[in-house]
Amino acid sequence: MWLEEVLRRYEAGERDFSLIQVNLTGDQCKDGYFSGVNLSGANFRESDLQRLVFYGQGINFSGSDLSDLDLAYAHFEDADSSGANLSGACLWRANFRRANLTGANFSRSDLQETGFHMTNLSRCKFSGAKMIDTGFGFCDLIDSDFRDAKFQNGVGFSKCDLTRANFFGTEFKISEVNDHKPGRVVFKDVYFKDTIMPDGAIWNEYIRIYNSRKQLWLEEVLRRYEAGERDFSLIQVYLSDQQSKERYLSGVNLSGANFRESDLLHLVLYGQGINFSGSDLSDLDLARAHFENADLTGANLSGACLWRANFGRADLTGANLTQTDLQETKFYDANLSRANLSGAKMIETSFDDANLTDSDFRNAKFKDRVRFYRADLTRTNFFGTELDLDEIRANKSEMAIFTDAHFKDTIMPDGTIWNSVIPGVE
């Protein structure tokens, strides 16, 4: 059955697509072609979707039955498969980067070399799933169920939230985790809270795995900085328990320093009010960073992962945010004048009340519900983005919301200049 026929029947109310083989035309075989295509709640049992899922970025399979299907090499980046039934499916080398899989069923599935990066896997069921070299990076695994999952080799959990995750009955060794030894499963920079381990023990702690970076306590970094040193590349910064408090670093000056390839994850969790103006933070993992009221004027953040970071009221004048990952990042009331955000990837990013005068969003990737409530967009450049101007005018855009935003000499995606205010919807 050709895809057009499937979509036509779906629009007519049909939901049973079992025992079919979906074919695509040459024009449809493109990355991102299915972004936004809705096939939620459909039954695809015993069907062949191999060609379709190879281009499945952004597709909506929420609540659909994909159980026992061959979905090897599937591309489900940015897809919505929340509540989907993937039990028994072959997902060898499938990619679920940034996908929403809340409540999905992966029981008995084959997850060999499957990639989950920045994926919402809360309340997912992995019981009995087979995992070899499976990667979970920056994932929300709250209330996920791994009971009796088969961790065979090299399963990695990096920077994941494992609150109330259940590993009871799995066979990885607690001793290997405690000693940071490679084994069936590796936990790196993960958060345990009320997590049930294989032996039934409850864990509540944060596990870090040491690496080749030079380990320095904050006091040593500050002492060297005061002595004139500015190159702090390839270091890992540690804070004492006393320093691990909100606003402890307020006013601390590390301006103009080079932190390339360093690990600042612990430091930036308490970075409210810190001074990183002119510093090089490019390509760093700064997920969940707290930069409220921080000074980042002229800082280089290009390529950094800023997932769920908070820049509320921060000064980012002239900062370089090109190619950054800004998923769920907050910039409320921040100064982003002359900031460069070209090529940045945004999902549910908030620029509420922000100053974006002369900022550059050229070719930025607006994925879903990026908010510009009451933002100052004077001379802001959106050229080359995929925003729909008609939807913006009607206040119906799902990609970006401009309620009460101020446009003045603003360059829009098609090159037109806007001078107006888009009122809120009553």
Question: For the chain, what is the total number of helices (H) and then of strands (E)?
Answer: 6, 17
Tokens read off for 263:
């690990």
**H-run or E-run covering 224:** helix 218-226
- Write the pLDDT tens digit of every residue in 264-304: 988 998 999 999 999 999 988 898 899 999 999 999 999 89
> CA end-to-end span of the chain, whole Å?
45
Give me the residue label for tokens 């049992």.
45
pLDDT for res 174: 66
CATH node for 213-426? 2.160.20.80
pLDDT for res 426: 28
pLDDT for res 341: 96
CA pair distance 86, 66, nearest whole angstrom: 5
In a 13 Å sphere around the CA of 278, the CA atoms on its Cβ side amount to 7
Report CA torsion sign: 93, 94, 98, 104: negative
CA pair distance 216, 262, nearest whole angstrom: 11
Q: Are 318 and 335 in contact (CB under 8 A)?
A: no
CA distances from 251 to 254, 258, 293 (A): 9, 18, 10
Residue 145 falls in which region: left (phi positive, over 0), alpha (psi -120 to 50) or beta: beta
pLDDT for res 425: 36
Give me the residue label for tokens 């890992």.
236
Go through the chain and tell me how many residues it has: 426
pLDDT for res 210: 42
Give me the residue label for tokens 């109330």.
164
pLDDT for res 333: 97
Which parts of the chain have pLDDT scores under 70? Answer: 173-183, 206-213, 422-426
pLDDT for res 176: 59
pLDDT for res 209: 47
pLDDT for res 28: 85
